Structure 1
């Protein structure tokens, strides 16, 4: 049933498909400078299908979003849980719900808060784990969280990709091999952390979902059926084929020992470098033409590779897009 005064959890959308969303934004209800109306307009202009409102330690804005939801635009309720030893995102929580934040790494209290979010059907995401300011670095175990924000765009206006993001991506990448082996890997996400005009959607996460509704989007994000884009001008698809079977981002492919072909199609990144990554690090690189449109192909086997993911970077090294892995078995 709808909750009067709060945005609906379902929009008509386009049915099953890829949806672009920014799950870390702030309005005038915490430390942002934009109203919900301005954020919604900015999100639509940036080509987004949904956003998550994540004010710091507050549910104050949740009732302000209902007028801005639409058949083709969803607002997901959330919170940035700003603790004394790192921040995390509670995405998809209940209307009016506030998650406890008053603790530090040695207090052994974060687990209770994570449990509350999971009980509401929500997603728990490590936020900007290496942010260079007091309490910005994430000092807790990642064990019970669902995803990691490896790309945070807070400084996007002058540094679309910075050293903090590079470190977060490298640490996430190093942990993938063990995570894939144990069947417990945590997907990567990218969000703008919008506070000012012009930031929203830089970057954002593109998720494969059964529809434009909160449960479906969270299911796609939780499963890692997603990739990160610097803007809606970037298009990407990744398919892995073996033994007549095909798998996409976040999926498993049973190869039956057959040769594996990995094919990535990219648009919108002129003269980009497309790199393929496995448990051995970067294993292959292809350069795109000046047009920014092209296909990159790599061949391997499941015996040599337990997963594959790709990164797309501009000629000067800044990230344009990156994917979660396809797992090979």
Structure 2
């Protein structure tokens, strides 16, 4: 593992962000887990990133400088009671990039390898020992080393929506390919267990990118441990901005389940309820292990409720996508599992 040189100052005395904030208790929190500052190849300072993240309606960000630990004494003072900073790294290997989220202060994950070296599992073990997550980043990015060549098993999450290469629009063909690949894998992953949730991040390098998109996660508190637990469990959905809001619930036999949860309908009728705000004239589509099964238009003011009925025999899981009239994604969710005898949870 590469070592970071902090000079004469001992690591224990350096100012790193605290691992928890006061927050709002158990709630939905918005965060961008892929950002770069001037301490790698970004153009914004940590201070500018924090200011812009809060202005974008975010509750947390993750520091993910390329192949290096978060710089000490530059992030700690930017955290607040209502704003969490998670420590991470973008591990920029020769055959794909991935995010190590929730690693320890000053920790660096080795990046100087490729898929044929067989070292990625060892690197992921290092992240997991720290209680962190390994996220397969922008698996179809359009540049050398951007295509993700590592096998997904071993990674905890897939970044299906990356905002860096989307110019003036927050969606492109590379994201479409990543979403389709992840969507096709869900049925097999759910049967074998564990499945890999989706997340979205801005990959901020430049002005005006942060929070486009971001991940909205249900966490028991605003802390690194709780946020990562929510992401790991798939209790999250992706939004292009804080203007977009989604509520997604399935109900059967007096029980209810939300994103990332298992309903256990036991053969009964399932009512799926999706409420959306902030996508004028958009389209909500429902997706299961049978593909796209239902769609409905939103009104011109962008706020609407869509209901759909199914059974566990018909649908092992259900997730939704919300698209603008031009077909670009505005939001998408992880699945609600209806009733499937999973091998492991």
**TM-score, normalisation: structure 2:** 0.94
Task: Identify the residue that residue 3 of structure 2 maps to in structure 1.
Answer: none
In 2, Cα distance between equivalents of 1:221 and 1:210: 12
* In the alignment, structure 1 residue 220 sits paired with structure 2 residue 220: no
* In the alignment, structure 1 residue 254 sits paired with structure 2 residue 264: yes
Superposed CA RMSD in Å reads 1.0
Q: How does 1:72-87 map to 2 (within 5 A)?
A: 72-87=82-97
> Unaligned 5+ residue runs, structure 2?
1-11, 340-345
In 1, Cα distance between equivalents of 2:164 and 2:251: 37
Q: Which among 125, 129, 139 is matched to residue 115 of structure 1?
A: 125
Q: How does 1:240-319 map to 2 (within 5 A)?
A: 240-319=250-329
> Unaligned 5+ residue runs, structure 1?
none
User: What's the CA shift for 1:61?
Assistant: 2.1
Task: Identify the residue that residue 201 of structure 1 maps to in structure 2.
Answer: 211
- Given that residues 134 and 157 in structure 2 are in contact (C-alpha distance below 8 angstroms), is that contact kept between their aligned partners in structure 1? yes
Q: How does 1:171-190 map to 2 (within 5 A)?
A: 171-190=181-200
User: What's the CA shift for 1:184?
Assistant: 1.5
User: What's the CA shift for 1:157?
Assistant: 3.8
- Given that residues 70 and 88 in structure 2 are in contact (C-alpha distance below 8 angstroms), is that contact kept between their aligned partners in structure 1? no
User: What's the CA shift for 1:95?
Assistant: 0.1
In 1, Cα distance between equivalents of 2:126 and 2:36: 22
Q: How does 1:8-157 map to 2 (within 5 A)?
A: 8-157=18-167
Task: Identify the residue that residue 211 of structure 1 maps to in structure 2.
Answer: 221
- Given that residues 156 and 202 in structure 1 are in contact (C-alpha distance below 8 angstroms), is that contact kept between their aligned partners in structure 2? no
Q: Which among 315, 321, 338 is matched to residue 328 of structure 1?
A: 338
The 1:60/1:246 distance shift into structure 2, 3 A limit, reads closer
Give CA deviations for 1:261-309 in whole Å, capped at 9, x if unaligned.
0000000000000000001110000100001000011100000100000
User: What's the CA shift for 1:4?
Assistant: 4.5
User: What's the CA shift for 1:3?
Assistant: 7.0
In 2, Cα distance between equivalents of 1:102 and 1:302: 46
Alignment: residue pair count: 328
In 1, Cα distance between equivalents of 2:272 and 2:191: 20
**TM-score, normalisation: structure 1:** 0.98
User: What's the CA shift for 1:60?
Assistant: 4.8
User: What's the CA shift for 1:257?
Assistant: 1.1
